[in-house]
């Protein structure tokens, strides 16, 4: 293993691999990526794989739109010999209250200002898209045909391979155990395999990011929360778009293989690093689907798993450099949409590190906003 690097990135998921690729593409050759397990072993490999532009804040809309535009051409840009399997089947958002319908209308105003082709739908129009949707319990819907899903393992692998070709070094099963700071500046990273001297460290560890921040004495108002997913037996094609509800707190997508992948939020989930599965999730998920999409509730479950959301108070990410430890950069707190934002995370962090003009001005997503109160809550999170 190398004992010196220009940049050390901690985390081998979509964020870390995208940051490595973008730095390497800009000529930084001496890049090391540390992953304590294998590439895509954490939250990226456990996510629901959906990507959408339908958000409620302008910043999230801009980041999502640019990221999806990248994903549309990811195979070519990253020179990937396989396929990231991006399918733009749309997202159908359903509302079960009048209040949520009004929120959809506000969201769409923001989305249209960002050039996102979303639209409000009548319940009749929603049922035409998903015929077995139980519209009797719903009040309205919103839709964007440009939203979709892609394979998180292939996508991360595409960034990994592209960064590797450009000279980035990846060390798997290599855990960062400490970060050395001298006179307010990062000077290196201690690992289970030795010390790496560096002046730039990027924390891209999602669920584990708070413990990495603690290594430099940086207090970040984030916490990790378990989110569970299940997958059913495969059946014939029944549903094109991802169906999602913030009020009913679920999402469900049929994969190209015919299985249904679904998940739900639960404010009572553990606020720690557990990624165990629970019977309660299965029961609540089944109850919800039985009401909203009755035919799907008859399918057999073949497996379930869990991953971590890394949550911030405003449910928007943090892109910043620590004031107290110069050279320590953070890309964290994605609140469940780190995979969606992967391309722009890499672009934004590389521009920040290299002091370049930003493609998207993400300065409002700084760490200090939680002290000043200059936050804008993202309303559209399951």
Q: For residue 318, is it within any domain?
A: yes
DSSP class of residue 42? Answer: S
Question: Does residue 350 lie in a domain region?
Answer: yes
**Residue 187 in domain:** yes
Residue 39 CA to residue 224 CA, distance in Å, equals 20
Does residue 57 lie in a domain region?
no
Q: Is 75 inside any structural domain? A: no
Query: Do 231 and 116 belong together in one domain?
Result: yes
Query: Of the candidates 292, 308, 324, which is a domain's last residue?
Result: 308
Bridge partners, 7 (sequence order): 31
252: number of Cβ within 10 Å: 26
Q: Is residue 292 domain-shared with residue 241, that is, in the same domain?
A: yes
Q: Which CATH number does the domain housing residue 359 bear?
A: 3.50.50.60
Whether 240 and 302 map to the same domain: the answer is yes
Q: Are residues 327 and 281 in the same domain?
A: no
Of 263, 284, 308, the residue that ends a domain is 308
Domain termination site, one of 308, 334, 349:
308
The pTM for the full model equals 0.97
Domain that holds residue 325: 7-47+153-222+314-372
Rounded CA-CA distance 282/264 in Å is 10
Helix ranges, the chain (H): 14-25, 58-72, 74-77, 98-113, 123-129, 152-165, 209-214, 279-292, 342-353, 369-372
Residue 19 shares a structural domain with residue 123 = no
Strand partners, 305: 229
Same domain for 135 and 167, yes or no, is: no
Q: What is the CATH number of the domain that holds 242?
A: 3.30.9.10
pLDDT tens for the chain, residues 1 to 382: 999 999 999 999 999 999 999 999 999 989 999 999 999 999 999 999 999 999 999 999 999 999 999 999 999 999 999 999 999 999 999 999 999 999 999 999 999 999 999 999 999 999 999 999 999 999 999 999 999 999 999 999 999 999 999 999 999 999 999 999 999 999 999 999 999 999 999 999 999 999 999 999 999 999 999 999 999 999 999 999 999 999 999 999 999 999 999 999 888 898 999 999 999 999 999 999 999 999 999 999 999 999 999 999 999 999 999 999 999 999 999 999 999 999 999 999 999 999 999 999 999 999 999 999 999 999 999 9
Count of domains for the chain: 2
H or E segment and range at residue 250: strand 250-254
Indicate whether 251 and 139 sit together in one domain: yes
DSSP 300: P
In eight-state DSSP terms, residue 4 is B
Residues 192 and 320 in one domain: yes
Q: Does 115 share its domain with 136?
A: yes
Structure tokens at 279: 């019977």
Q: Please check whether residues 135 and 230 belong to one and the same domain.
A: yes
* Distance separating alpha carbons of residues 341 and 151, to the nearest angstrom: 14
In this structure, the answer to whether residues 303 and 230 fall within a common structural domain is: yes
Q: Provide CB contacts within 8 A for 27, sequence distance 6+.
A: none
Same domain, 299 and 264: yes
Residue 112 within any structural domain of the chain: yes
Residue 73 lies in a domain: no
332: in domain? yes
């Amino acid at each position: 293993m190398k004992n010196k690097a220009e940049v050390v990135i901690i985390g081998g998921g979509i964020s870390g691999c995208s940051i490595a690729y973008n730095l390497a593409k800009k000529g930084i050759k001496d890049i090391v990526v540390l992953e304590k397990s294998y590439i895509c072993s954490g939250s990226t490999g456990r996510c629901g794989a959906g990507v959408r532009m339908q958000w409620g804040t302008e910043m999230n809309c801009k980041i999502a739109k640019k990221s999806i535009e990248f994903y549309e051409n990811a195979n070519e840009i990253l020179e990937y010999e396989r396929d990231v399997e991006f399918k733009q089947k749309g997202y159908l958002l359903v509302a079960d209250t009048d209040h949520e319908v009004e929120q959809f209308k506000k969201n769409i105003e923001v989305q249209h200002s960002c050039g996102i082709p979303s639209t409000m739908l009548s319940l009749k129009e929603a049922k035409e898209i998903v015929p077995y949707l139980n519209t009797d319990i719903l009040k309205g819907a919103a839709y964007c045909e440009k939203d979709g899903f892609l394979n998180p393992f292939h996508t991360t692998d595409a960034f990994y391979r592209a960064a590797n070709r450009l000279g980035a070094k990846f060390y798997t099963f290599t855990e960062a155990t400490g970060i050395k700071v001298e006179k307010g500046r990062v000077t290196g990273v201690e690992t289970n395999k030795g010390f790496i001297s560096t002046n730039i460290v990027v924390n891209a560890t999602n669920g584990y990011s708070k413990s990495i921040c603690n290594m430099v004495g940086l207090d970040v108002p984030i916490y990790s929360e378990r989110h569970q997913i299940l997958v059913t037996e495969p059946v014939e094609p029944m549903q094109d778009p991802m169906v999602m509800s913030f009020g009913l707190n679920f999402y469900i997508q049929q994969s190209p293989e015919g299985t249904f992948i679904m998940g739900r939020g639960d404010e009572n989930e553990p606020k720690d690093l557990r990624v165990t599965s629970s019977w309660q999730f299965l029961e609540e998920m089944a109850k919800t689907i039985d009401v909203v999409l009755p035919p799907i509730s008859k399918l057999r479950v073949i497996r379930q798993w869990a991953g971590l959301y890394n949550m911030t108070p405003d449910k928007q990410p943090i892109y910043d450099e620590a004031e107290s430890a110069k050279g320590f950069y953070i890309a964290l707190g994605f609140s469940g949409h780190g995979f969606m934002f992967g391309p722009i995370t890499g672009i934004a962090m590389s521009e920040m590190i290299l002091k370049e003009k930003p493609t998207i001005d993400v300065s409002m997503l700084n760490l200090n906003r939680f002290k000043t109160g200059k936050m804008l809550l993202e309303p559209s999170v399951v």
